[in-house]
Amino acid sequence: MIISWIYWVIVVLVILLVVRCLYEEKSLREQLVAAMVLIPLVLRALFIK
């Protein structure tokens, strides 16, 4: 299904942006929050969960 692949691309782009934000973030706490958001996104992008 094409829509699944479009959403896969969306998830991957969001992951890249979150990682970018994680590196630009000056506060350790906010870095932790960004990392938390990454976990489900990465597992979905890898078709694991």
With binding defined as CB under 8 A, does residue 12 bind other proteins?
A: no
With binding defined as CB under 8 A, does residue 5 bind other proteins?
A: no
With binding defined as CB under 8 A, does residue 4 bind other proteins?
A: yes
Helices (H), the chain: 2-24, 28-45
**Angstrom distance (rounded) from CA 38 to CA 46:** 12
With binding defined as CB under 8 A, does residue 26 bind other proteins?
A: yes
**Angstrom distance (rounded) from CA 37 to CA 42:** 9
Footprint on this chain of other proteins (rule: CB under 8 A): 1, 3-4, 6-7, 10-11, 13-14, 17-44, 46-49
